[in-house]
Amino acid sequence: MKKRVSKFISLALTAAMVLSLAGCGSSDSAESAPAESGTETTASGETANSTEESTQTAASGEKIVNIGVTDSLGSINPFVIDQTFINKYAVDLQFLPLVEFDENLNFEYILADSITTEDNKNFIVHINDDATWSDGNPITAYDVEYSFLRLASPIVANATLVYNVFEGVGDDGFVEEGATGVSGVQVIDDKTIQFTTKEPMSMITFQSAYACYLHTMPKHVIEKFSEAELTTQDWFNHPDVVSGPFMVTDYDTDHYISYVANKNYWKGAPKIDKLNIKIVDSSQVYSGLQSGEIDVTHHTMTNIPQEDMESIEALDNVNVVYGSPVTNQSVFIQTENIPDVRVRQALVYAIDRQKIVDELLKGHGEVVEGFLSSASPYYDDSITPYGYDPEKAKELLAEAGWDGSQTLRFFVNSGDGTFVNAAQVMVAQWAAVGIKVEVQTVDLATLMSMAGSTDYDLFAVQYTYPPIDPSVDIAWLLSGAESWTGYSDPSIDEALGKVGTTEDIAGLKELYATIDKKVQEDVPMFSAYIISPQGAVSKRLTNVHANVYGFFNNIQEWDVVE
């Protein structure tokens, strides 16, 4: 799941909430990804080659690109989505964020062209003077303000977009119903808006936790909808006014999202005519790339089975890029159900994580403790991960009085074939020390809907913590009874409080080390491994900057060269 959430920005990724809010697909568009991509979808959701359709598509002269992903889609309505990457990127293509990370983990202005602050409380955002909606109207600060107010509406009640850090917003993250303004969001002029936080906040946090996730929508279009209608309006299933390079024509939450180019895109009309995001089973990725039915796989949305990685590398028609190690295969422990820290420590000592990296990931990954990988500027390599020590695990279990009669329920993402295999290895190693664990595979949407409950003992999900600022995600995940772990600690809370106002790398490294060491000690979660994920791009495409971040920032420049 590559998720990005935050307790504040959204409760977020993390929010212990039902993150899987499914949207309804549009039925009145004649276009569909399966037809455009040369596949047909069977009743079971499998895809089959359709030579006739592929030929017709090629003969049409249109430039069509198919992105293959294995994550399940929740919705494309910005008011409904959670912050898993597939949902975020599906919306980003239509409604631009203010900023985004580029491939080198620097902030790149997208809708905004500057963000400044003099006191780390008042953040001045200037919208690009050239930015216009696809209908020709200028994108203004009033659009940003209106979008913020509706996203923070208690009627919309999106738990993953909580803005309680801003002046005038309640502690629950909501404004008053029908609010026309709040003190923390003030329009200065048509292109300038000021955000004011209740407490000092670093520029890093403001940009990574808020500016990256605020989708600005056209006030002149959506103001005709009531707040209650914003979550159900069919307009969002195929909007005709967008700020981004593409607009959705049709989608099916289980199979595809189809886009057509916004020829009036203010940064330049896209060179490709149609874009399809194809939702496939991980076992179909290799054959899709081989046949050309899939042109692109994305590092954080496509789970490549380990057994297919070398085969994909060998394909003559694609370029393979391994991304930075930022995707954490996180295992969350419901501490209410496993309250003894010695049992939690034993769970980690009992598994050979390095062997899993070497054998299942073919070395494309690493083992760490806590949240930070070596890709982060704050990574502390002095924190030595627990080694594989089954005897130590047995000692800890004996001290805890573990009698082996309890069976732990371990939920994993069925779409992540590599980790499904890894989970079976872990279960066998746990059994060897006297811990019985039962794996239950569910789809990502179901997994996320369980995240905020206590109806599991362990669950695992791929979680991409932003290397530049993982603090908002950590704050949620370790925020007590309502979090995914049910865990909190004063020393972590104190460190997180300082992170939000610290800009220098040395200071941030020390604070994150404090957090990771405490997490290693108390084990409310652990990292099974960090993935250096594989991505692939067809050689018929140009100007695609394949990396974990910044992948779609300049998608209007992608081109097809047959």
Task: Specify whether the CB–CB gap between 255 and 279 falls below 8 A.
Answer: yes
What's residue 246's pLDDT? 98
Please check whether the domain covering 327-531 is classified as CATH 3.10.105.10.
Answer: yes
Q: How many CB atoms within 10 Å of residue 503? A: 11
Task: Specify whether the CB–CB gap between 138 and 131 falls below 8 A.
Answer: yes
Distance CA 176, CA 367 (A): 46
Mean pLDDT of all residues belonging to the chain: 87
What's residue 60's pLDDT? 66
- pLDDT category, 12, cuts 50, 70, 90? very low
User: Nearest-CA neighbor of 501 among 162, 165, 10?
Assistant: 165
Q: What is the pLDDT of residues 50-70, one digit of tens each?
A: 333 333 344 468 999 999 999
Buried/exposed code over 246-260 (b: 16+ C-beta within 10 A; e: otherwise): bbbbbbbbebbbbbb
Q: Poorest-confidence range of 14-23, 61-70, 119-128, 194-203?
A: 14-23
What's residue 435's pLDDT? 98
DSSP per residue over 171-183, as a string?
Answer: TTS---TT---BT
Mean local confidence (pLDDT), 380-385: 95
**CATH number, span 24-73+245-322+535-562:** 3.40.190.10
Residue 201, helix vs strand vs coil: coil
| pTM of the complete model | 0.74
Give the contacts of 308 (CB within 8 A, at least 6 positions apart): 285, 286
Structure tokens belonging to residue 25: 């697909």
Question: Where exactly are the structural domains of the chain?
Answer: 1-20+78-241, 24-73+245-322+535-562, 327-531
Distance CA 94, CA 387 (A): 46
Q: Poorest-confidence range of 16-20, 298-302, 364-368, 546-550?
A: 16-20
404, with CB counted inside 10 A (0-12, 13-18, 19+), is exposed
Q: Poorest-confidence range of 154-163, 285-294, 405-414, 518-527?
A: 154-163
Q: Report, in this order, helix, strand and coil percent for the chain, each rounded to 5.
A: 30, 20, 50
Buried/exposed code over 268-296 (b: 16+ C-beta within 10 A; e: otherwise): eebbbbbbbbbbbebebbbebbbeebbbb
End-to-end CA distance of the chain: 33
Distance CA 518, CA 404 (A): 27
Task: Specify whether the CB–CB gap between 227 and 155 falls below 8 A.
Answer: yes
Percent of the chain with pLDDT over 70: 89
Q: Which CATH superfamily is domain 1-20+78-241 in?
A: Dipeptide-binding Protein; Domain 1 (3.90.76.10)
What's residue 229's pLDDT? 97
Q: What is the pLDDT of residues 300-347, one digit of tens each?
A: 889 888 789 999 999 999 999 998 888 899 999 999 999 999 999 999
Task: Specify whether the CB–CB gap between 417 and 305 falls below 8 A.
Answer: yes
Domain 24-73+245-322+535-562 in the same topology as domain 1-20+78-241: no
Task: Specify whether the CB–CB gap between 440 and 410 falls below 8 A.
Answer: yes
Task: Specify whether the CB–CB gap between 415 and 281 falls below 8 A.
Answer: yes
Position with higher pLDDT, 182 vs 5: 182
> Dihedral of CA 186/552/237/156: which sign?
negative
φ/ψ of residue 241, rounded to 5? -135, 115
